[in-house]
Amino acid sequence: MSTASGITMASMSTYAILGCGSVGHAVAEELVEEGKDVLILDADEGRVEALRDQDLNAQQADICETDVAQTVADRDVVLIMSPDVNANAEAVQNIRESGGEQFIVARADDPVSADDLTELGADIVINPSAVIADSALRALETGELEYKASQLGDVIDGTEERMAILIHRSPDPDSIASAAALRAIAASRDVEADIIYEGEIGHQENRAFVNLLGIELTSNEDVDLDEYDTFALVDVAKGGEPAIDTVDIVIDHYEHEHELEHDAAFSDIRPNISATSTILTKYIQELDLNLDQSVATALLYGIRAETLDFKRDTTPADLTAAAYLYPFADHDTLEQVESPSMSPETLDVLAEAIRNREVQGSHLVSNAGFIRDRDALAQAAQHLLNLEGITTTAVFAIADDTIYLAARSKDIRMNIGKVLSDAFGGMGETAGHSTDASVEIPLGIFTGLDTSDDNRDTLLELTEEAVKRKLFEAMGVDSSSSESSNGN
């Protein structure tokens, strides 16, 4: 049921409140304070007298009576606020049966009564208990964040020399952005911090991300960890814990399998949020920091990258964090980060992966041969995921006496991180989660052979056969009986 022709909520100025208990009284006071014309109808004579003593326009009436519909016929909005839901239903029905087109807001006490009131013609149905519960949860969340922010500040303030912010191996945008935000928080408290990473930043998009935003990172090979007295682990769960004995701060959106987090003075791990950048954005807001444009841009990109531009496991918290960051971000730089040039070697790896692909159902596995740029595998796996009918990809190759494998999945029924762990967990080091995972396997363990120029082709054949078989088995595909296709 819509409002009367030509009436908008902004122009509505006459109201009737039927049933003026505590909820109705609170609404009436707010409306009168805003200068609205409010008529109150209530069956309780004592309550009506008390309302009149407060200079409110109140009349005694049973809201279930049919003549009440005529009493409120000239009102733009009728709020039926009695705690008696059955009486509220009768009042809605009487108004609609009399031809009343007022905008009706009615009070319910559970989902069933809410549905009944809607069917009878109420435009909006409210449940005070649900509203109170929602308000209480928001207040609890705000209070908890305030407490956690104070805790985090205390741990940072305890730094006497310098803080080390450790992120996972070959870090992704979410790791880098989160660490940059934590460093900004530390700087606001006059504490110097370094962002320390393992491995390489090889993916073109990640290199562009770091270079364009001017984010300073330090390789763990270039530092002495003994020079730091406060250690923070940020977004490290899916990339393996750094090799340190003690940790003071842990912030992540994945649960950790290691014990370090339990000994940390401060820990904030939220599996119900899709990006660590979201968590750090909440702290930036709570601490009311002046947000540097490069940090804001990094955090926004971190959230977008981790949620695949809000298409994967996105939560309301991720969306509100992104909305907060949006005005502060450099969108020209974001566009450059998202469209980096592809190196010739990455193009070669992608071409080889396309040529050697084997498809079983919607699963694609490919051998990219011998490579130098390991990060090209992740890009190839992501590109192949765009092929029609493909939901899961895995691309592997040999480099430096090691088999490297990168996998991607958009199949909600599959956890690609678990697939790799089941297939290769006893042989090599696996990392990742449900949609993005990798594994490194020493070549000698896998084939029993040492690498030499004479046996390269043999190694490649043995690796290809064994890796594909194990992968398809772990994916639940019988490769011996399924039809396969490749690019040859």
Question: Is beta strand 163-166 parallel, antiparallel or unpaired with respect to 193-197?
Answer: parallel
Q: What confidence tens digit (pLDDT) does each residue in 21-50 have?
A: 888 888 899 898 888 999 999 999 999 999
- Residue 407 and residue 467 in contact, taking contact as beta carbons nearer than 8 Å: no
Provide CB contacts within 8 A for 41, sequence distance 6+: 16, 17, 18, 19, 20, 58, 59, 60, 61, 63, 68, 71, 72
Average pLDDT over residues 409-433: 84
Cα 5–chain centre separation: 42
**pTM above the 0.85 mark?**
no
- Residue 73 and residue 37 in contact, taking contact as beta carbons nearer than 8 Å: no
The CB density around residue 200, as the number of other CB atoms within 10 Å, is 15
Q: What confidence tens digit (pLDDT) does each residue in 295-349 have?
A: 999 999 999 988 878 877 788 889 999 999 999 999 988 888 876 666 788 888 8
Return the bridge partners of 407, or none.
394, 437
Given a cut of 70, whether residue 450 has pLDDT beyond it is no
Structural domains in the chain plus CATH codes? 13-126 (3.40.50.720), 142-337 (3.90.1640.10), 344-475 (3.10.310.30)
Residue/partner pairs of 153-156 with CB below 8 Å, 24 or more apart: 153/185, 153/189, 153/287, 155/230, 155/248, 155/249, 155/265, 155/266, 156/185, 156/186, 156/189, 156/191, 156/230, 156/249
pLDDT, position 488? 39
- Residue 181 and residue 299 in contact, taking contact as beta carbons nearer than 8 Å: yes
Which residue is listed with tokens 């056969």?
465
CA angle 409, 175, 414 (to 5 degrees): 15
Provide CB contacts within 8 A for 193, sequence distance 6+: 162, 163, 164, 165, 182, 183, 186, 187, 232
Q: What confidence tens digit (pLDDT) does each residue in 236-263 have?
A: 876 666 667 789 999 998 877 665 555 7
Question: What percentage of the chain carries pLDDT values higher than 70?
Answer: 89
In this structure, what token pair is assigned to residue 254?
């994945």
Radius of gyration of the chain (CA): 31
